[in-house]
Amino acid sequence: MADEPAKEPIEQQQQKEADKSVHKEHKKENHHNLREQIDKLQAEKDEMFARLQRLSADYMNYQKRSAKQISEAIAYEKEVIIKSLLPVLDNFEHTLASAENEQDIENLRKGVKIIYEQMLSIFKSYGVEQVSSAGKQFDPACHQAVMQETDADKEDGIILKELMKCYRLGEKVLRPGRVVVNKKAVEQGDDDGSDEDRE
């Protein structure tokens, strides 16, 4: 009998069983809590994903709408500009038709001048300004020098002639003016190292 293992008292066995039961209950409760958290996170994830899909679809629609609106705005502006130029074209046609039978060159000149002023008026309505340059100081931002000439009566860098006018749209130069710029001749007697000083 001495070799037989000692039996645990019944109270200890009952305590162990109770502990196992409590542990099982605790495990079940934890498992249940974890399952609830997972389900909640899954629901949040699904909601976020659905929201992201809606935002993505809205953004794609916005991009399509924006591209279409820009395209329509450009087409509209082109149409407005072309319509504003059609009367100028009509006047050119009338002037050319009357020029065939017109003996008086003065009337032809007046007709062309009217068309020119009409064209300037249209440009002005779009904010395009014609900038006269003759007599002004050369400015590389709005002038392109194509030639240099010498005029002793004028300052160096003064524009003597304007071959093509400068046009601006607000502060932006649409086309620089093509100009002839004054370049003063260097006088030969002004050199400090003259021949007399060398002798």
Residues 132 and 46 in one domain: no
- CATH number of the domain bearing residue 145: 2.30.22.10
Of all residues in the chain, what percent carry a pLDDT higher than 90? 18
Q: Read off φ and ψ for residue 186, nearest 5 degrees.
A: -80, 125
Residues 27 and 120 in one domain: yes
Listed residues 126, 148, 174: the one ending a domain: 126
Handedness of CA 78, 83, 86, 87 (dihedral sign): negative
Q: Where are the beta strands (DSSP E) in the chain?
A: 128-131, 143-149, 159-164, 166-169, 172-175, 177-182
Amino acid at 94: H
> Above 90 in pLDDT, residue 25?
no
Letter string b/e over residues 78-106, b meaning 16 or more CB atoms within 10 A of that residue's CB: eeeeeebeeebeebeeebeeeeeeeeeee
Residue 45: both structure tokens together: 């994830």
Residues 46 and 117 in one domain: yes
Residues 53 and 148 in one domain: no
DSSP 3-state of 160: strand
126 or 190: which leads in pLDDT? 126
Q: What is the pLDDT of residues 58-76, one digit of tens each?
A: 899 888 888 889 988 888 8
Residues 64 and 25 in one domain: yes
Give me the pLDDT at residue 181, please. 92
Q: How confident is the model at residue 196 (pLDDT cuts 50, 70, 90)?
A: very low
- 142-146, 151-155, 169-173: least confident range: 151-155
